[in-house]
Structure 1
């Protein structure tokens, strides 16, 4: 009878390997937990705390933080109209993440599609798309957004569009560079020899190979777009009241920095923590999605 103890160990699933690597990386784990908490606040916060975020309490004007005289909702203090800063930060998370996520997703889809076309087709089509990307990148993102929003009415839709347009060249040039390297691979040549059409090659063979790089780039761009949107709101040409974002809260609190620093500190801290968490999680994603690093993780996990 064969010795059962000599049987080779069963390979672990990819999901378990990824989760174990996340648990070993304490910074990435903390970033993932924090971003999950922020996402939950963005989804359910406006539904649960909308009334508290709008309720005026003149007795609590510029109430200092960690004072529970008006209840636990004022643990972060009150603003110039006596509204709970905690409730407003939670409610503002929805608009902040919605604008950043929508802008990144729109630029990812459009820039990714244009990058696939420019990299695979090449020729005059690729040259025209590259010159268009160079023209957009010649303007700094903040300057381009300031000019467009100064001409047009500031609003959620316009802010999303201008931020998305400014980031399209980043995705397009990244995807084009990946496609130029992948289209000469053997699997693409084999698919072309078997009669696969261009659309099938791009969507089923090349796009999945580029996806890890795009996901990492999108996470980084999410943090950058959040900072740009906050800067626009700080300048007064971003989201306008009665809508609220973290950047707008920082702008409202700048007039009280000498007497009520917490009005700008807490929303600014939220922006910094989300941006830092996205960068930490991106570093972990880069390791997990890299084939060489993933092979090393699988070897260590066995």
Structure 2
């Protein structure tokens, strides 16, 4: 009878934890609005191309450079139209998939590789740590944008190459951050106890130390997501990022620069999308940092209970 009770207790504990996190999020209204915005963007990323692909590609020369809020041509032109009469609203929704996919893939790849290398460097130390740090220094000696420009100028600026070069440029950030955390955590009593009980290195790293580092890594990933989005937009603006017929928000800004004097909205609305998502990620990462900090989370819970 004990096993079914334990099985029922686990979903109940998870549900209670989810409600507690939702309550903490609701308490910080700025973080709550940021989370809602990001959920909307994720919805557009998943379903946007499926729902709006035809409208984003439909050419209507009669609506060429139509101004925003001109609903005479339909609600799809609420943000205006581009130089070929294509709906800006539909194109922004469709472009969200490539923009978010590139940023999230690059951050996930750099977080996985950099986090694993940081765990090894912090726990092992010695020549392994020194070698990994020198490699990180070599990568960080080039600014992310400059490194991406050089690589993409030599190779084909496709989606895979953009993701790869952005991921490589951010690996040192995760490596150094995780290493610094591990250097402090490995001296704690629970690691010493695990060693005394005969736990092997892999178990200590991935069962005991990695969960302690994960909150910091998640917060950093949210910040890096915003940074990578800006770099990708800059690359597309320079013409060495994603190439047509693919579309990203940065590429839309680049396409509208020739019309800034007569049709400012071509670059303005994609720029607003980039700014909104970047700001939401930064604000939500700040909330995550406070919630995952035991001291700050205790204050959140205390103030929530007082209400």
Structure 1 residue 75 and structure 2 residue 78: aligned?
A: yes
* 2:164 alignment counterpart: 161
* 2:102 alignment counterpart: 99
Structure 1 residue 225 and structure 2 residue 228: aligned?
A: yes
Structure 1 residue 236 and structure 2 residue 234: aligned?
A: no
State the distance in 2 between where 1:70 and 1:15 align.
44
* 2:205 alignment counterpart: 202
State the distance in 2 between where 1:133 and 1:127 align.
10
Report matched runs for 1:237-256 at 5 Å: 237-256=240-259
* 2:43 alignment counterpart: 40
CA RMSD of aligned residues (A): 1.2
CA displacement at 1:17 relative to structure 2:
2.7
1:63 maps to which of 66, 78, 83: 66
CA displacement at 1:295 relative to structure 2:
1.8
CA displacement at 1:18 relative to structure 2:
2.0
State the distance in 2 between where 1:102 and 1:58 align.
36
State the distance in 2 between where 1:117 and 1:23 align.
38
CA displacement at 1:14 relative to structure 2:
3.4
Q: 1:17 touches 1:297 (CA, 8 Å); kept in 2?
A: no
TM-score when normalising by structure 2: 0.93
* 2:194 alignment counterpart: 191
* 1:139 alignment counterpart: 142
State the distance in 2 between where 1:284 and 1:166 align.
26
Deviations 1:147-203 (A, max 9, x none): 000000101000000000000000000000000000010000000010000000000
State the distance in 2 between where 1:296 and 1:34 align.
26
* 2:55 alignment counterpart: 52
State the distance in 2 between where 1:15 and 1:299 align.
18
CA displacement at 1:287 relative to structure 2:
0.8
Unaligned runs of 5+ in 1: 1-10
State the distance in 1 between where 2:48 and 2:300 align.
37
* 2:25 alignment counterpart: 22
Deviations 1:5-45 (A, max 9, x none): xxxxxx99433332122112111111000100010001000
State the distance in 2 between where 1:14 and 1:44 align.
29
CA displacement at 1:300 relative to structure 2:
2.9
Size of the alignment, in residue pairs?
A: 292
CA displacement at 1:298 relative to structure 2:
2.5
Q: 1:118 touches 1:129 (CA, 8 Å); kept in 2?
A: yes
Please state whether the residue corresponding to 1:101 is helix, strand or coil: helix
